[in-house]
Chains A and B, each alone.
Chain A
Amino acid sequence: MATFFGEVVVAPSRAGVDDDEEAREETPEDREIRRELEKKREIEILWTLKSGASTESSADEPFACSQFIVAIGRNAAAFLSSFILDSVCWEVVGVVKLWNEWCRTSSTTNVLPTDSFCLFYRLISDPTVLLCQCSCYVAEDQQFQWLEKVFGCMQKEGLQVTVLSTCPVADYKTQESTLTLPSPFLKALKTKEFKEQVCCPLLEQPNIVRDLPAA
């Protein structure tokens, strides 16, 4: 297509499928590269058992969980660090190891606030209360895997999940300009099974949530 300046460019399509991608068949080398890349992008969850030894999550039975609070993004993770977490009442019980183009997390549980990490904590007085601080970016193709592996480890009967996240005010769609909006402000989304009072207004259309919080 021609731009206003008269140059001819290939316009990006919202379809998201490049014609090249669809026309080209995968060679065995392509397949091998793709498989290696998929393996590198796999998510590993390491749970720390009572004895202190680390083990793969797949071998364990699902553990009882009544409350699961997930903080996604640096702001939400910092909120938990500042107001909820402390070394007296909470203990680290797991860590997620992942890699993508934006960040890499390690299996260490001794992290700095500026690191990218994804840690699980448990309330010592009530081990069914679990908390997750996820300050690393989980890529599109890893979000479903993260979801399945994390929730695959817990018993889902009677489980209440709370997701904390932040979005830029500039992304908020409203009739007035966002400049005049008193910020920061809270909005919520809830499933119909959630019967308790929500502490803030619900998110109105046309606003949406995407990526890991949505997953």
Chain B
Amino acid sequence: MFVPCERGGGSASSDFKGFTLLMPAVSVGNVGQLAIDLVISTLGMTKVGYFYTDCLVPMVGNNPYATAEENSMELSINAEVYSLPSKKLVVLQIRSPFIKNKYRPFCQTLLSWVKSSKCARVVLLSSSHAYQCNDEQLLGTPLRYLLTPDLEKAVGGLMQELNWKEMEKVAAYPGINDTEKVLHIPGGGITKLLFTESCSKGFQMAVLLKFCSEGDNIPDAFALVNYLNEWLQLVQSQVSASNNSTDASSQWKIPSSWRLLFGNGLPPALF
């Protein structure tokens, strides 16, 4: 599945032992994927390979993180891996939807790759339909986290200190029997499947998600990536003078491919 790039690094560039794997779920508003774009673009991460898979709709384009003419000509496809050894970070970006019936095989192959590449833990960025929030969830922060039991032991305390809110379980049979609770992440794509598989297979996985709706999801992506930053400290947060809070929004670099997200310029003949 994973095909390394042929660079001078050789096998060193695909050695992810002890690294944190950061990846998105293709979910409502594509918030996870937008957040990953911000991470790759800001940290100037190097592409180290891609996934050769039949599970995602094929797509190709030129470098979405190009900053100049010289680096704009590298081809980019639907599932690519970037790395930043100095932060022991490896990032997977997924750029197209799953082909019908293929999301389960993808999850299985992905988790076996995580195991074979010896990543220490996985952080999954995702989102969930805001319209499915219950009354309590409508108040307060729209950001939630989930930890597999193995990661709970390691960082559970930190989540308490950060005052983060764990994703609530909902009644399996609402109105009939409120005692049996299940995890429900509507619009989250493969989030629930990956999380439950990781729990049962003993992986250290964290899910960070935001309640949102389809629309202009750039602010949602910033909120999610700032949330991630509270924990992983990927970029320095600067104290904002105006409201005296730490906010790393200005530290994130928007990639050049985010241009024209809502269509072309208007035809002059319209006026």
Contact = CB atoms under 8 A, between A and B. Distances in A.
A159 to B, nearest CB: 17
B64 A205 contact: yes
Contacts of A34: 101
Contacts of A140: 57, 99-100
B57 A11 contact: no
Interface residues of B, number: 54
Contacts of B260: 173-175, 206
Contact of A202 (B25, B62, B129): B62
Given A13-B129, A34-B101, A210-B57, A176 B257 contact: no
Judged by DSSP, the binding face of A is loop
A128 interface: no
A176 B160 CA distance: 50
B186 interface: yes
Interface stretch (B138-146, B189-197, B233-241): B189-197
Contacts, number: 129
A18 to B, nearest CB: 10
Nearest to B131: A1
A176 B28 CA distance: 29
Nearest to A205: B257
B98 A16 contact: yes
Given A177-B268, A211-B58, A14 B214 contact: yes
A89 interface: no
B129 A17 contact: no
Interface in B27-77: 27-30, 54, 57-64, 66, 72-75, 77
B101 A206 contact: no
B256 A205 contact: yes
11 contacts: A1-B213, A15-B97, A15-B188, A17-B98, A17-B189, A173-B260, A176-B264, A189-B62, A205-B256, A206-B261, A209-B59
Given A15-B97, A192-B74, 12 more contacts: A13-B189, A14-B28, A17-B103, A173-B264, A179-B267, A192-B75, A202-B62, A205-B72, A205-B257, A206-B64, A206-B257, A210-B58
